[in-house]
Structure formats: C-alpha cells, structure tokens
Amino acid sequence: MTSTPAAHIKSLDHLVLTVTSIPRTTQWYKANLGMKSEQFVSSATPDITCHSLLFGSQKINLHELGKEFEPKASNVKEGSADLCFFTDDDVKDVRRRLIDAGVEMVDLSPEKGIVNRTGARGKLRSVYCRYPDGNLIE
C-alpha cells in the first residue's frame, strides 16, 4: 500500500440521483430550491438526452429509475439520498416558504423544526424536508 493518495479531491463536481420522474423532480427542485435545469447530450452516450439540476458550481445529474445508463451505482434506488444544501437565506424564512409550498417537512426540534447541526464548514442551522421520491433534504 502506498502512503500517497491516488488523488487529492478539492470539490464535488456532480452526484447522480435516481428518480421516478425527471419532469417532476426538475420542477420540484426549481420551484422549491431555486435550481436551474439543463438537458445535454454526452459524447459518451450520444443517443441519450441527459438531465441535470444546476446550483452554485455543482450539479445533480438525474437518472430515471429503470432507464439508467452505464456506468451506474451498484444498488440503484429512488428515495435513498440524504442531501444537505447551503443557502444565504434565513432558515426560518426557508422553512416558512417550504411549508407554504406544501412541502413535506421533517420536524426534529421543539424550535419549530429548526435544528443545530455541524456540516463541512462548521456549525449550521437546518430544516429538513422530503422530496416526493423520499429523499431527505436538509
């Protein structure tokens, strides 16, 4: 075993979510989290239209359950993700707007669903909700 890592990772480029409906997923993330969507064709799979959600300098690629393309995760399943996003918006305002939009909230705290957590950049205040496929969104 070598003491030198194969790579020194500096950031996340993208992740893949397996979903039951790309149009529904795209609409939900755009309406509730302000993400942008894109469609593109990869040179690796020119016969497949790919779908992504863009935010900051990252993206989420979307694969529709049963129509995934290779390579893919070994155990493809919708509703198995647990994602945490940063925002500059006030956490109380975010929670209120999600509730007003009819989003399913996960309340873990007596302080109206707002909890203290520790993320990659230190302490943060979080609210939790579920995307319709069951993914947990923080």
The answer to whether residue 2 sits within a structural domain is no
Q: What is the pLDDT of residue 110?
A: 64
Q: What is the pLDDT of residue 107?
A: 85
Of 78, 96, 111, the domain-final residue: 78
Average pLDDT over residues 98-104: 96
Active site residues: 138
Considering the entire predicted model, what is its pTM? 0.89
> Residues 64-82, buried b or exposed e (16+ Cβ, 10 A)?
beeeeeeeeeeeeebbebe
Q: Identify the residue whose tokens are 């509703």.
A: 79
How sure is the predictor about 106, in pLDDT bands with cuts at 50, 70 and 90?
Answer: very high
Q: Where in the sequence is the domain holding 85, given as residue range(s)?
A: 79-138
Of 57, 78, 99, the domain-final residue: 78
Residue 86 sits in a domain of what CATH number? 3.10.180.10
Q: What is the pLDDT of residue 23?
A: 97
20 and 31 in a single domain? The answer is yes
69 and 38 in a single domain? The answer is yes
Alpha-carbon distance of 79 to 81, in angstroms, equals 6
Average pLDDT over residues 52-61: 96
Domain count, the chain: 2
